[in-house]
Structure 1
Amino acid sequence: MSATELPDRTPEWWIYRGTGDPLHDMHLADRLPPPPPWRDFRRDGEPLAVDVPQDEAETGRRLGSERRYGSVRPNRAEVDMVNAALYLRRPLLVTGKPGSGKSSLAYRISRELRLGRVLRWSITSQTTLRSGLYDYDAIGRVQASAARHAGPGGTGAEEPPIGDFVRLRELGTAFLPRHLPRVLLVDELDKAESDLPHDLLSIFEDGEFLIPELARDARRSPVAEVFTADPGYTAQIENGVVRCSAFPIVVITSNGERDFPPAFLRRCLRLEMKDPDPAQLAAIVAAHALDPDHRAVLIEDFVARRAALGGLPADKLLDAIFLATSGAYEPDDPGWPGLVDALWQQLNQQGN
């Protein structure tokens, strides 16, 4: 058996199996062993949040139907490395060509282990560590204070709590203390400025961060209720410190366009995603409930075009099959090859 083939019998140490189907016969809390001592962030007596929002609509867009996705067979390397990241509480750095399924891996883990909504932190050239942790609306707080003093009697209205002006972002929300880990997708770290990977080391190693604005106010209000990156959800922060209990499952994607600092790489587990093979492409198409007519021919054409271009995202295949099943395809239509060519050439021409 090669290193990429799944074994006939599921290894006992595996928790994640790579099917994308929810494991209703297993609860992560019952299977996940304690962390290594050097990665143990638990604290006795600390209150842990248990309510995690769901987002089946986003997961369905990413993976397709829950009932159909199980036919997608991952390779051995993927399942091994995800489980290693679970056991070791380490971030997983996933590299590969655009469209190879790097981002989808986070949604597959979350659906299979029933961990709720994926926290997706999309990286740009303007992204900083602070922008991933929290926002503080200083201007809004000043305006609220001014409005309080402007009314009749001067200070009759109660000043709103500072927590009303703080919102945790995706990275910050992932490090809230919880019984089970959240899934955090750090998408396209290549786009960040060179300082961001270095800056991430502190929170990945310490499992906590400080919100100075709340810490300065802690003598008056030691506990602040703030908004989170989950719409409609809040969290209580004590003395301005956000401290994880279960280290989040961190999936960091990279197109391999830049080198990361050795110190950052040492703290990550690494997985290279290969382009889906024809069988995996067929399963992905089936998961999105697309009509099987013309599927085999288009998959064969797609694989050939992908090889010629040096890479092509799988969602371009889904676009073409959707058009074909929507009535755009006719066997003798002279315009169809040109339409498919435009769909499959566009990404390459833009250099993405």
Structure 2
Amino acid sequence: MTAPHYPGSPPSGPGADGWRLFRGDGQSRQVTFPEAPPWRRFTSAPSGSEPSKPLPYLIGPAEADVVNAALLLRRPLLVTGHPGTGKSSLAHAVAHELSLGRVLSWPVNSRSTLQDALYRYDAIGRLRESNLRREQACEEPPHGQGPDIGSYVRLGPLGTALVPSERPRVLLVDELDKGDVDLPNDLLAVFEDGEFEIPELARLPEEQDRVEVLTADPEARVPVVRGRVRCSEFPVVVITSNGEREFPPAFLRRCVRLEIAEPDGNRLRDIVRAHLEDADLADVDELLDTFLDRRASGELATDQLLNAVFLRKGGVDLSPGGLLEAVLHRLGGTV
């Protein structure tokens, strides 16, 4: 019996192992890579073009109402939930549905600082450029004719989100709970005031009161006057957290909180249909039941179910004890 083939999935080919590109036998061969799963395709859009349509994102009416409350209040949306429940994808869904352009992303880690998110000033690079010009000219350049300082100032994702614009930008602050314990408090003033200062530009003489600086958008510059950036529309800020630690009450008071629960069986079926709309879902129920059973005893992410369905539709044997264990492995606890 020929294994089923889903368009865009690994080809079944002759025999039961046509999907095996790598044989592990030490022999070199030319293989044709099949099309990747829809959620693992990477395409580069031309500079300045509209972002590509994101994958379908399904959320319940109650959760959508919380998102709307944050939009109306111009408050950051703090999204919590288990890994793989779609916290980060929510920012891209909002940007797509409201036509707000490219999402600005700030992935937080233990070394992240507010300064990095607002802007960076490459003083060393500017000094090197100034010295190079001096050596080539064999004399000191006239006052005010050194390297353009704007070429050495780049706004970070948060700084770019606060640039004045007719429509708000979407800023994803991903996994804030992985940052320094003081980082949430550091963000309070910026979130409250909607502005920040770049001291290196504020100290310039009056004839240099307007400087064009780089941004987090590719090949984009914006003017900064007297070193101050102040938003005209507060950005749509989506902050994600895996719940690894609690945030200060002062920070929580300024956020609208959304807890994304793990999707139930019906929601999971809808998600599979949305992502693999051309697939025959006749045998999805078996994988779905297995997924729900395993999730009951340990963390599993929704994309793991999508991976399993995609492989099954490509003719891959996902019998228990084999590849199924590698695809539907627990995310928490001992492996």
- Tell me the TM-score normalised to structure 2 length: 0.80
Q: Describe the superposition over 1:278-307 as per-residue Cα deviations: whole angstroms up to 9, x where unpaired.
A: 222222223323623432221221122111
The residue identity in structure 1 corresponding to 2:51 is D
Q: Please name the residue that 2:109 is paired with.
A: 124
Q: State percent identity of aligned pairs.
A: 51
Q: Distance in 2 between matches of 1:163 and 1:322?
A: 48
Q: CA deviation at 1:53?
A: 5.8
Secondary structure of the residue that 1:84 maps to in structure 2?
helix
Q: Distance in 2 between matches of 1:338 and 1:181?
A: 48
Q: Please name the residue that 2:74 is paired with.
A: 89
Q: 2:172 aligns with which of 185, 190, 199?
A: 185
**Structure 1 residues 218 and 300, CA, compared in 2 at 3 Å: closer, same or farther?**
farther
Q: Please name the residue that 1:16 is paired with.
A: none
Q: Please name the residue that 1:26 is paired with.
A: none
Q: Distance in 2 between matches of 1:175 and 1:247?
A: 7
Q: Distance in 2 between matches of 1:322 and 1:280?
A: 18
Q: Describe the superposition over 1:307-350 as per-residue Cα deviations: whole angstroms up to 9, x where unpaired.
A: 121x21111112212222222137xxx5x642112222253356
**Structure 1 residues 101 and 149, CA, compared in 2 at 3 Å: closer, same or farther?**
same
2:317/2:323 contact within 8 Å kept: no
The residue identity in structure 2 corresponding to 1:134 is Y
Question: What is the correspondence of 1:3-14 to structure 2 with a 5 Å cutoff?
Answer: none
Q: Distance in 2 between matches of 1:318 and 1:283?
A: 11
Q: Please name the residue that 2:37 is paired with.
A: none
Q: 1:338 aligns with which of 322, 329, 332?
A: 322
Q: CA deviation at 1:156?
A: 6.1
1:52/1:116 contact within 8 Å kept: no
Secondary structure of the residue that 1:107 maps to in structure 2?
helix
Q: 1:303 aligns with which of 292, 310, 321?
A: 292
The residue identity in structure 2 corresponding to 1:321 is V
The residue identity in structure 1 corresponding to 2:303 is D
Give RMSD over aligned pairs.
Answer: 2.1
Q: Please name the residue that 1:326 is paired with.
A: 314
Q: Please name the residue that 1:229 is paired with.
A: 216
Q: CA deviation at 1:155?
A: 4.3
Q: Please name the residue that 2:259 is paired with.
A: 272
Q: Distance in 2 between matches of 1:142 and 1:54?
A: 37
Q: 1:316 aligns with which of 304, 318, 321?
A: 304
Q: CA deviation at 1:160?
A: 2.3
Q: Please name the residue that 2:50 is paired with.
A: 54
Structure 1 unmatched ranges of 5 or more: 1-50
Q: Distance in 1 between matches of 2:170 and 2:323?
A: 38
Q: Distance in 2 between matches of 1:199 and 1:173?
A: 17
Q: Distance in 1 between matches of 2:297 and 2:205?
A: 61
Q: Describe the superposition over 1:83-123 as per-residue Cα deviations: whole angstroms up to 9, x where unpaired.
A: 11111111111111111111111111111111111111100
Q: Distance in 2 between matches of 1:220 and 1:107?
A: 41
Q: Distance in 2 between matches of 1:296 and 1:99?
A: 20
The residue identity in structure 1 corresponding to 2:301 is P
The residue identity in structure 1 corresponding to 2:160 is T
The residue identity in structure 2 corresponding to 1:197 is P
**Structure 1 residues 209 and 156, CA, compared in 2 at 3 Å: closer, same or farther?**
closer
Q: Distance in 2 between matches of 1:170 and 1:87?
A: 22
1:53/1:117 contact within 8 Å kept: no
Q: Distance in 2 between matches of 1:348 and 1:340?
A: 17
Aligned residues: 285
Q: Distance in 2 between matches of 1:156 and 1:76?
A: 63
Q: CA deviation at 1:257?
A: 1.4
Q: Distance in 1 between matches of 2:321 and 2:92?
A: 33
Q: Describe the superposition over 1:45-86 as per-residue Cα deviations: whole angstroms up to 9, x where unpaired.
A: xxxxxx986321xx53xxx2xxxx37x3x2232111111111
Runs of 4+ in 1 over 6 A off after TM superposition: none
Q: Please name the residue that 2:230 is paired with.
A: 243
Secondary structure of the residue that 2:128 maps to in structure 1?
helix
Secondary structure of the residue that 1:178 maps to in structure 2?
coil
Q: 1:135 aligns with which of 114, 120, 137?
A: 120
Secondary structure of the residue that 2:213 maps to in structure 1?
strand
Q: Distance in 2 between matches of 1:211 and 1:79?
A: 36
Q: Please name the residue that 1:214 is paired with.
A: 201
The residue identity in structure 1 corresponding to 2:329 is Q
2:91/2:238 contact within 8 Å kept: yes
Secondary structure of the residue that 2:200 maps to in structure 1?
helix
The residue identity in structure 2 corresponding to 1:133 is L
Q: Please name the residue that 2:276 is paired with.
A: 289
Larger Rg over CA atoms = 2
The answer to whether residue 97 in structure 2 is matched with residue 108 in structure 1 is: no
**Structure 1 residues 210 and 159, CA, compared in 2 at 3 Å: closer, same or farther?**
same
1:133/1:171 contact within 8 Å kept: yes
Q: Distance in 1 between matches of 2:296 and 2:89?
A: 22
